[in-house]
Chain A
Amino acid sequence: MTTPETHTAETTGHGDISVGVAGSGDSSASATRITPGNALRPEDIALEVRTGLVKPSEDVAEYALRLGDDALILAQRLGRWISRAPELEEDVALGNIALDQLGHARSFLTYAGGAWEKSEDDLAYFRREHEFRSAHLFEQPNGDFAVTIARQFVVSYYQFELYRRLTQSTDATLAAIAAKAVKEVDYHRDHSAQWILRLALGTKESRARMTHGLKLVWPYVGELFVDDELTTRLAGAGAAVEPSSLKADFDRLTGEVLAEAELEVPQTPVAPGGGRRGKHSEHLGYILAEMQVLAREHPGASW
């Protein structure tokens, strides 16, 4: 995977703020200076994996697969909003969130693939439904904007608590991916909370839709916080965190937002989930059919 960089950074008019005359330093002030920035990219992880610098254990790979699949399926869902959002500004906002999630997915899957000599694309496009490890929440349909916001609300508060702790992982790569992701997810929290408030306290219609949206996604909250043998083993080794340990903070913080929005925490029955074991919602099959169709038509091809 060699990505020729298309850096378009300007090289002029910057870094000459050494002049003492008032105003001169500002001659380089600009609102269109663009740079690619500097952060951990999936390509960097791929390079480390390829050169043998890092190789996840079987357990860590399986764990990374879960996080990667969650993010991938969510990105696939969110991508549909681009060109369909309630306002152009929101097309861009949801696009940014989808791109963040896709970035996390690529990093986790690339790292996971290191255990089995598979690329991110091998894992995304050539696994079958039961081999995916996403939780049901991420597979839920977009619904209307309120359903998407409800899903985003749960996801972002969950992911924030998860990644925040994962930055302390004894697995350096997991920690590094989490360190990049946690900052982005923090913004996703803010985005969803802002919308929860506006939809809940906006109009009668929006309040009804917001309440309904939360009701639709809440049965799938429980699955996010279920421990199993893998997470217990990894948490014991300090590489991962027990999902159940995130629950208290998640409840408290989401509770605060819901209270401000004058909404109740939905009292819906909890669905059993099973995504971590390959037992998925009915939705995943359709998602994969669409996502994988072209790649599978041309096995072995490069794009």
Chain B
Amino acid sequence: MIPNDTPTSQVPSRPLDSQARPGNPAAVGPRPGTPVVGAPQESTTSVWPLWEVFVRSSRGLSHVHAGSLHAPDAAMALRNARDLYTRRNEGVSIWVVPADAIAASDPDAKGSFFESPQGKDYRHATYYTKSEGVKHL
């Protein structure tokens, strides 16, 4: 699962973004079109890092991204997530992940990264029409 709304607050300085990526060989510092509107993240010690929260709504189901929050450490992040994202019985289990621990696929690479599966109909049962109507197949 690739969460696609991880924060980009540190985009310009993030290793992920300064690396050469598929579909973006230029990699010339800050990507044009990703302007920094605010000041870059301060490193004041009192600022708690950002965490992404995943909630399992009931047994047997996957954890689903619920949102984010700030917490000083994992233990508090879990508790804050419990207080914030399960106030109305939304979950039976919670994961928290430091936001900057999530590696995300490159949005610019939509074309090449996700092109391959397009058109490979033979991976799907519907492709096999001759067996239609045959029972238990």
| Residues in A neighbouring B57, C-beta threshold 8 A | 28-31, 33
Q: Which residue of A lies closest to B80 (CB)?
A: A89
| Residues in B neighbouring A29, C-beta threshold 8 A | 56-57, 61-64
Q: Known contacts being A87-B48, A194-B75, is A31 close to B64, with CB within 8 Å?
A: yes
Report yes or no: B89 in contact with A36, Cβ–Cβ below 8 A: yes
Q: Known contacts being A29-B57, A92-B83, A194-B75, is A34 close to B64, with CB within 8 Å?
A: no
Which stretch from B24-32, B66-74, B102-110, B112-120 is at the chain A interface? B66-74
Determine if A32 is an interface residue (Cβ-Cβ < 8 Å). Answer: yes
Determine if A26 is an interface residue (Cβ-Cβ < 8 Å). Answer: yes
Residue of B48, B61, B66, B88 near A25 (CB, 8 A) is B61
The docked-state distance in angstroms from the alpha carbon of A87 to that of B72 is: 11
The docked-state distance in angstroms from the alpha carbon of A138 to that of B85 is: 29
Residue of B56, B79, B90 near A194 (CB, 8 A) is B79
1/0 contact string of A171-191 vs chain B (CB within 8 Å) = 000000000000000000011
| Residues in B neighbouring A37, C-beta threshold 8 A | 89
The docked-state distance in angstroms from the alpha carbon of A96 to that of B82 is: 10
Report yes or no: A87 in contact with B70, Cβ–Cβ below 8 A: yes
Q: Which residue of B lies closest to A195 (CB)?
A: B76
Interface residues on chain A, number (Cβ under 8 Å): 24
| Residues in A neighbouring B67, C-beta threshold 8 A | 31
1/0 contact string of A1-31 vs chain B (CB within 8 Å) = 0000000000000100100000001101111
Report yes or no: B54 in contact with A194, Cβ–Cβ below 8 A: no
For window 128-145 of chain A, which residues contact chain B by CB distance below 8 Å? none
1/0 contact string of B36-77 vs chain A (CB within 8 Å) = 000000000000100000111110111111110111100110
Determine if B136 is an interface residue (Cβ-Cβ < 8 Å). Answer: no
| Residues in B neighbouring A198, C-beta threshold 8 A | 72, 76
Report yes or no: B90 in contact with A32, Cβ–Cβ below 8 A: yes
Residue of B60, B69, B70, B88 near A34 (CB, 8 A) is B88
The docked-state distance in angstroms from the alpha carbon of A26 to that of B57 is: 10
Q: Which residue of B lies closest to A96 (CB)?
A: B83
Determine if A302 is an interface residue (Cβ-Cβ < 8 Å). Answer: no
1/0 contact string of B80-105 vs chain A (CB within 8 Å) = 10011101111100000000000000
Report yes or no: A89 in contact with B69, Cβ–Cβ below 8 A: yes
What is the minimal beta-carbon distance from A152 to any residue of chain B, in angstroms? Answer: 14
Report yes or no: B89 in contact with A31, Cβ–Cβ below 8 A: no
Residue of B60, B87, B91 near A31 (CB, 8 A) is B91
Q: Known contacts being A36-B89, A92-B84, A190-B79, is A30 close to B64, with CB within 8 Å?
A: yes
What is the minimal beta-carbon distance from B42 to any residue of chain A, in angstroms? Answer: 15
1/0 contact string of A246-264 vs chain B (CB within 8 Å) = 0000000000000000000
What is the minimal beta-carbon distance from B64 to any residue of chain A, in angstroms? Answer: 4
Q: Which 6 A-B pairs have the closest CB atoms?
A: A31-B66, A34-B88, A29-B61, A89-B80, A31-B64, A31-B55
A-B residue pairs in contact (CB < 8 Å), sample of 19: A25-B60, A26-B61, A28-B57, A28-B61, A29-B57, A29-B61, A30-B61, A30-B90, A31-B54, A31-B91, A33-B57, A33-B90, A35-B88, A36-B88, A89-B69, A92-B80, A92-B83, A191-B79, A194-B79
